Each structure stands twice: as C-alpha cells, then as structure tokens.
C-alpha cells in the first residue's frame, strides 16, 4: 500500500463540474508532477459536501484544512505553500463565521453542527469505489439480516419502530408502507426508488445519489427482502447525468461482487435492480404518475385506492420510496430503532436533509 504526505479530497458533483472542477483537477495534478509532489500528494475524488457556497473546494489531510471558492489561479500557491512548505494558505480557507479562522476537526462549522446520517459519507468516500463503502460497514446491514436469518416481518417491525417517515414530502410512515406490501398477495412485487427530483431549486436527493450510491442500493435490497420483492427500479431524473453515471457504476460493482442477483449469500433471496430514466415531467415525482410513466403511459396520477402497496407497477404490490428515505434504512438496521429515534422529534424521528438557497448567509 502506498502512503502519502498529503491526501486531497476533491469534491465533484454536477455543480462543480459546471464550475470547471475537471479542468482544476487536471491542472492540479500537472502542477504536482511539475513540483515533484506527485509521489507525496494523493488526489482523491469524492461527492459533494453539500456546501454549495464554496464552489470548487478541496480538503487537505492531515490537518483537515478546507479550501473553498477556488480557481485554477490558486493551484500554484496551494502546491508551493501547503504541499512543499507546509503552510496553510489562510486566504483560501473556508471561514466558518465572520472574522474567524478555524481548521476544525470535522470541517467547516456548517458541517460540524449537523448530525449527518444519510450524508455521513458524502464528501468523504469515493462514490465510484465499492471498497470504500465496504470499509464503512457498507452492505453489512443486508448481510446481518441474511446471516442472522432475520424474518422479513421482523425487518418491517424494526422500520416501523424507528418511526421513519417518507422523506419525499408526504411523510407517510415507511414501515407501514412496507407492511402493506409485505402482506399483499402477488406473484411479483416491486421496489421503486423515486429519484425523479423535479421541484425547481431542489437537489438534495441528487447529492445523496452522487455522494453514496451504494447506500441507496443497500436500502432497496433491504426493502425487497422485507416485502418479498425480487425486482427493483431506480426512476431517476434524466437530466442527472452524474447521478446516473455513478449509479450505473455502483450497480455494475454490486453485481460483480454478488450483492445483487440470484440467491444472495446463499440465502435463497434474489434481487435485481435496473435504472429507468425519466423524461423531465414534474408530475412524475408523484408515485402513481411515476408508475404510469414506467408502464409507458402519460404521467398522470391514479385515483386511490387502490394504493401502490396492493396494486402498483404492472398491477402488482409496489413500494415507492424516495432516495432519502432509502438512505436511512441501512443505518437503522445497523444501529437500531432507538438510536434513530434519538434524533428529531417524537412525532417525526431522525434527521432531514434540506436544500437551502437564496439570499441566506450560509448555504
């Protein structure tokens, strides 16, 4: 294993790509090589930290120094001051509060004040490297369920006990939705991840998908096991190019390591997932409109009842969960319902990811 004097986390998402982060990365690596630092500084790609005010940003370890609002003109100074002379370039450090300079243990103050569950690994791991997800207990939740032979109805009860509510807007209890599908009769059942984030100015699901796609796959696996489904779909907004790319790579890796497919872990449980791209219709964020679209029809909401849990995709029991909802599943299985209830309120436990933008001090 190679060891380096410095590790640089480079945050890459759709917004930083538009800001020129790929050119920044190319020039950074070229400058490091020219300064004979290529063997002592390792540049690693990761997802977004969620701090959109900071434009192109990097974190440097050791020291957890967070530089933000960078341009290619700043690269030479960072290379020669920080990586060669060991001096922090203070003018480029993100300042958590007015007049204060701090290189905190966990990053900018905005992050340190958060209890991150679904975003805990976003901006930390390489989302395109399954081994980095493994290193953070990735796929241990589904492994625990199958190894310990936890019954599907017991998994449903854990999610019910956690109090997790749908994070897509309606706030319907997730465990109850799973229970309806679990009890419903049908030769085929389906799990759908609703990643059709069509609300203008909303992009929190995109950050989750880009930052930790395997977390969503594991949540879908657990949902499939709990409800008796063997097929899942990720209905994703067609404009989310990077999310689609990373999810496609995550799916390929999951199949390569037998985390998806037939007879997982020799348990008899089989589950397959495919991606369906949306065509940009805002209304398809509603679960029954989404199902209509997947069936090749106009995306128009269905009358309820029947609900998707009993009659959804292709007339079969179907669970439609939002990206953020599914991202909570594996942590709940690993840490327990009581742990999840220690966050949030009595009526709405857990954490919630929000997109904040506009004329506010920090976003």
Q: What's the CA dihedral at 204, 132, 251, 141 to 10 degrees? A: -80
CATH of the domain at 279: 3.40.50.11540
pLDDT of 100 reads 37
Asked if residue 70 is part of any domain, the answer here is yes
**Does 267 lie in the same domain as 215?**
yes
Using only C-alpha atoms, the chain has a radius of gyration, in whole angstroms, of 22
The DSSP 8-state label assigned to residue 57 in this structure reads -
Per DSSP, the residues of 169-199 read SS--BHHHHHHHHHHS--S--EEEEEE---S
Q: Are residues 205 and 56 in the same domain?
A: no
Same domain, 100 and 151: no
Q: What is the pLDDT of residue 136?
A: 95
Can you give the pLDDT at residue 98? 36
**Quick one: residue 53, left, alpha or beta (phi over 0 = left, psi -120 to 50 = alpha)?**
alpha
Q: What is the pTM assigned to this prediction?
A: 0.89
Instruction: Give the length of the chain.
Output: 363
Tokens of 75: 């690269």
Lookup result for tokens 């960078």: 70
Instruction: Determine, yes or no, domain membership for 64.
Output: yes
- Residues 139 and 78 placed together within one structural domain of the fold: no
- What's the maximum distance between 2 C-alpha atoms anywhere in the chain? 68
- One domain, residues 152 and 94: no
Residue 86 sits in a domain whose CATH number is: 3.40.30.10
DSSP state, 302?
P
Domain that holds residue 215: 130-341
Q: Are 309 and 246 in a shared domain?
A: yes
For residue 45, the model assigns a pLDDT of 93
| 348 within some domain | no
Nearest to 162 by CA among 12, 362, 356, 328: 328
Determine the Cα–Cα distance for residues 105 and 291; give it in Å rounded to an integer: 45
Specify whether 291 is located in the same domain as 144.
yes
Q: Is residue 290 part of a domain?
A: yes
Q: Are residues 239 and 290 in the same domain?
A: yes
Instruction: Flag whether 228 is in a domain.
Output: yes
In a domain, 363, yes or no: no
Residues 6+ apart with CB under 8 A from 149: none
Q: Is residue 144 part of a domain?
A: yes
Q: Do 334 and 191 sit in the same domain of this protein?
A: yes
**What is the chain's pLDDT, residue by residue, as a tens digit (363 residues)?**
578 999 999 999 888 998 999 999 999 999 999 999 999 999 999 998 776 667 899 999 998 899 999 999 999 999 999 999 999 999 999 854 333 333 334 444 455 567 889 988 988 899 999 999 999 999 999 999 999 999 999 999 999 999 999 888 778 899 999 999 999 998 999 999 999 887 777 788 999 999 999 999 999 999 999 999 999 999 998 888 999 999 999 999 999 999 999 999 899 999 999 999 987 777 777 888 999 999 888 888 898 889 899 999 999 999 999 999 999 999 999 999 999 999 989 989 999 888 877 777 655
Count of structural domains, the chain: 2
Same-domain pairing of 212 and 325: yes
Q: CB within 8 A of 7, min separation 6: which ones?
A: 41, 42, 44, 60, 61
Residues 187 and 73 in one domain: no
Question: 143 and 91, same structural domain?
Answer: no
On whether residue 357 sits in a domain, the answer given is no
With b for 16 or more beta-carbon neighbours within 10 A and e for fewer, the 186-220 pattern comes to beebbbbbbbbbeeeeebbbbbbbbbbbbbbbbbb
pLDDT at 300: 85
């Amino acid at each position: 294993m190679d060891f380096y004097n410095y590790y640089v986390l480079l945050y890459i998402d759709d917004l930083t790509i538009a800001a020129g982060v790929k050119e920044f990365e190319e020039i950074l690596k070229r400058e490091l090589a020219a300064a004979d630092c290529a063997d002592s500084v390792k540049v690693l790609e990761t997802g977004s930290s969620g701090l959109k005010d900071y434009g192109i940003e990097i974190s440097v370890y050791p020291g957890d120094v967070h530089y933000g609002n960078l341009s290619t003109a700043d690269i030479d100074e960072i290379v020669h001051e920080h990586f060669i002379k060991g001096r922090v370039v203070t003018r480029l450090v993100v300042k958590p509060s007015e007049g204060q300079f701090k290189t905190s243990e966990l990053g900018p103050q905005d992050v340190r004040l958060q209890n991150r569950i679904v975003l805990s690994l976003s901006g930390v791991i390489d989302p395109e490297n399954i081994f980095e997800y493994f290193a953070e207990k990735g796929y241990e939740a589904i492994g625990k369920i199958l190894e310990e032979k936890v019954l599907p109805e017991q998994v449903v009860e854990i999610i019910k006990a956690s109090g997790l509510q749908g994070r897509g807007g309606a706030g319907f209890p997730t465990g109850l939705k799973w229970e309806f599908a679990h009890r419903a009769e049908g030769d085929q059942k389906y799990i759908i991840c609703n990643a059709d984030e069509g609300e203008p100015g909303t992009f929190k699901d995109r950050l989750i998908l880009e930052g930790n796609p395997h977390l969503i796959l594991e949540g879908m696996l657990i949902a499939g096991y709990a409800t008796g489904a063997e097929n899942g779909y990720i209905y994703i907004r067609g404009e989310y190019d990077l999310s689609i790319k990373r999810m496609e790579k995550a799916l390929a890796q999951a199949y390569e390591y037998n985390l998806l497919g037939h007879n997982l872990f020799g348990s008899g449980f089989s589950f397959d997932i495919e991606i369906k791209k949306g065509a940009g219709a805002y209304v398809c964020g509603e679960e029954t409109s989404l199902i209509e679209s997947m069936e090749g029809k106009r995306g128009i909401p269905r009358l309820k009842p029947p609900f998707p849990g009993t009659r959804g995709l292709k007339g079969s029991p179907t669970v439609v969960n939002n990206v953020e909802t599914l991202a909570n599943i594996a942590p709940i299985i690993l840490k327990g319902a009581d742990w999840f209830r220690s966050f949030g309120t009595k009526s709405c436990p857990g954490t919630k990811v929000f997109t904040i933008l506009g004329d506010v001090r920090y976003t």
